A and B are shown apart, each in its own frame.
Chain A
């Protein structure tokens, strides 16, 4: 059984992985979240554990059901393992300026290099999706093993297994995968998994390729074609990285963030997935487990801003077009999130999986879509403002669409909502939501003044923006705290308030902003990381520190002029990345263990904003309008 073999890794004495910095220990079949790296092709992504096991892959798209889901159920989820069959250590990196992962397995018998990639299509009849695993002997002779246990439909379906011209194939309904292999042993099917063992000598090269089909015939690739696509995939990512213009501090982390963000843009539509995983827990054993495989409007302004800063003009335009098309269906109301294909409605359900280290339930879909979250209107208008600032004009229909949405914001901003953190015990009058409504109306008025939107209601937008500001300054400030408050009239602070100087609600040197940043620094910061709030939110259990909040604190400190404090904090938070430069949504401040979905776009977007905050050219967002 697949689960039985993974149980062998539960203890150090039983694990084939050796000890030390590069150890990879499975407990109960699970590795720490920070032990994963991600590979992807802009349509789906796979999580590769340090021990060479691919424990998460949804096919054919990010939001499809999983074929490998061992990360949320080590026994029944399915995985594609590849590793030495004797004790080893593993070190890994991304090949420079690529999303292609290199893992070096070192054993007493020698060393082996494995290169993993989701290949990009070429003109040589590629499979619908292809995952290539290249194995090269570096020294000695290393006994290796691989085992592919596909479990379609989140582990619920047992596939039909068999052979096609000597290639192992598994199929379920319209889906099928083939595991082509060259010089990688003689595979056999056992208990629904195909596996093989073989020896890799120095200088020898073996190859595995997972080819997939969905509703069409399987393409069984040839060895030369797979190797060619692997090389062209490496070349593409290198070219793409070369075109990124950022040369400031923390350039390596910024480039890694840019690469992972590009990987998480769903290329068929231009939408950006918040994270490629579902239900990695915010607390081990807890129930704060959510599906992030959708596109949040909230992330849009950060994404458009980051893409423009990094010179990704085509990607920024594609994302903005997607938003206009997706929101057109619900306008003037804007949903919190949309499916990657632009559709609305992502009903939440629980699937019968054990959960990461027993963290249940495992959810598919996200009921946050039903919430009222007023801050998303600010995000949408900030996106439009930044997009038009990037030398793209808004067309008349888009301007009219946005005009209707701005009118809607005038109608709703006085009401309560569930806020940026999607609390389930609300609604409340969140200060951050009010501020983002101000952003929406302010940007609408500016766009109208610039001739990008109809100006017929511009006076109303400006008038209502002033009313929002008066409400915030009157109802959402506490003299006792010396800070803006989480909700009107409360005595709590909230890390979302760090956004106020970032979206130019007020200048970073404003006394109230400085007081708010100080209060958050004092009350929510734990070491170098930041809790989002300490109030109840209607969901049982605890959580870690949100890493995006830590980067927001860096950005806010920089905008307050506290550049030394900001730089010191940036160094420490940057050091919290895993060994390949990736971040999950949250972190346990004590152990440094990652929590939540991984990798998370919002954290990497916040990192880019923080790193570029030190640049003199960073400037205020609202003043970045092209002349």
Chain B
């Protein structure tokens, strides 16, 4: 199961990253996950993106293992269940993870509390990441559903 989760997580993250980057290029959103994640450790934009992509893939693999664990507990898997988990993860990401938790631990992202005595280099994502464009959440939702579906399809229990 672990091997298939890693394989599914890798492919799922690959597709997810491609979808989000493509959506950015087509002007659907300003989300740049690699920059968001990478700037937790560096303020050099070039390095940040490289580091960010590594982080994103590691996180993708980690969530795939968690999905695998969930599938093992409930005793079933499949692309539909994976897609459902992906959708739930997207909602959690948009409402809590990126909106609330990431700004708390991210040293360079603004929050609604950031005041004149601090310097933010990145604007806060906002609820459902709407600060990055009105369609941002739809892009995130679609990308996570694809990710979950791939993981659910690859992982067998």
Contact = CB atoms under 8 A, between A and B. Distances in A.
Contact of A120 (B45, B49, B115): B115
B111 interface: yes
B71 to A, nearest CB: 36
Given A60-B112, A268-B112, A314 B131 contact: no
Contacts of A411: none
A395 B115 contact: no
B123 A342 contact: yes
A343 interface: yes
Interface in A109-148: 120-121, 126, 128
Given A342-B132, A343-B131, A395-B46, A322 B123 contact: yes
B46 A268 contact: no
Given A267-B110, A269-B124, A329-B27, A43 B119 contact: no
B121 A318 contact: yes
B119 A314 contact: yes
Contacts of A330: 27
A40 B117 CA distance: 12
Contact of A318 (B27, B49, B119): B119
A310 B118 CA distance: 17
Contacts of A328: 24, 30
Contacts of A396: 46
B126 interface: yes
A43 B115 contact: yes
A270 interface: yes
A587 interface: no
A268 B114 CA distance: 5
Max chain B Cβ within 10 angstroms of own Cβ: one of A271, A314, A343: A343
Interface residues of B, number: 27
A397 interface: yes
Interface string A318-343: 10011001101110000000000111
B116 A42 contact: yes
Contacts of A41: 115-116
B45 A398 contact: yes
Interface in B99-155: 110-124, 126, 130-133
A314 B118 CA distance: 10
B110 A268 contact: yes
B120 A268 contact: yes
Given A267-B115, A341-B131, A395-B45, A318 B120 contact: yes
Nearest to A61: B112
Given A329-B27, A395-B46, A262 B116 contact: yes
A119 to B, nearest CB: 9
A325 B122 contact: yes
B151 to A, nearest CB: 29
Nearest to B127: A215
Contacts of A314: 119
Contacts of B115: 41-43, 120-121, 267
A172 to B, nearest CB: 18
Given A269-B124, A325-B123, A342 B131 contact: yes
Contacts of B110: 267-270
Interface residues of A, number: 37
A268 B121 CA distance: 9
Contacts of A33: none
Interface string A230-274: 000000100000000000000000000000001101011111000
Contacts of B27: 329-330
A475 interface: no
Interface in A199-256: 214, 236
A271 B119 CA distance: 11
Max chain A Cβ within 10 angstroms of own Cβ: one of B27, B113, B117, B132: B117
Contact of A267 (B30, B45, B116, B130): B116
A317 interface: yes
Contacts of B113: 121, 126, 128, 268
Contacts of B124: 268-269, 341
Nearest to B45: A395
A482 to B, nearest CB: 46
Interface in B42-64: 44-46, 49
Contacts of A40: 116
Interface string A37-69: 000111100000000000000001000000000
Nearest to A398: B45
B123 A267 contact: no
Contacts of A422: none
A315 interface: yes
A59 B110 CA distance: 17
A314 B117 CA distance: 12
Nearest to A313: B119
Contact of A321 (B49, B116, B121, B126): B121
A397 B34 CA distance: 12
A329 B30 contact: yes
Contacts of B132: 342
A598 B111 CA distance: 26
Contact of A315 (B24, B114, B119): B119
A329 B112 contact: no
A407 to B, nearest CB: 16
Contacts of B24: 328
Interface in B12-29: 24, 27
A362 to B, nearest CB: 26
11 contacts: A41-B115, A128-B113, A214-B112, A269-B124, A270-B121, A314-B119, A317-B121, A318-B119, A329-B30, A329-B133, A396-B46
Given A268-B114, A397-B49, 13 more contacts: A41-B115, A42-B114, A60-B112, A120-B115, A120-B116, A121-B113, A121-B115, A121-B117, A263-B116, A267-B110, A268-B111, A270-B123, A328-B24
Going nearest first, the 4 A-B pairs with the smallest beta carbon separation are: A42-B116, A268-B110, A269-B123, A395-B45
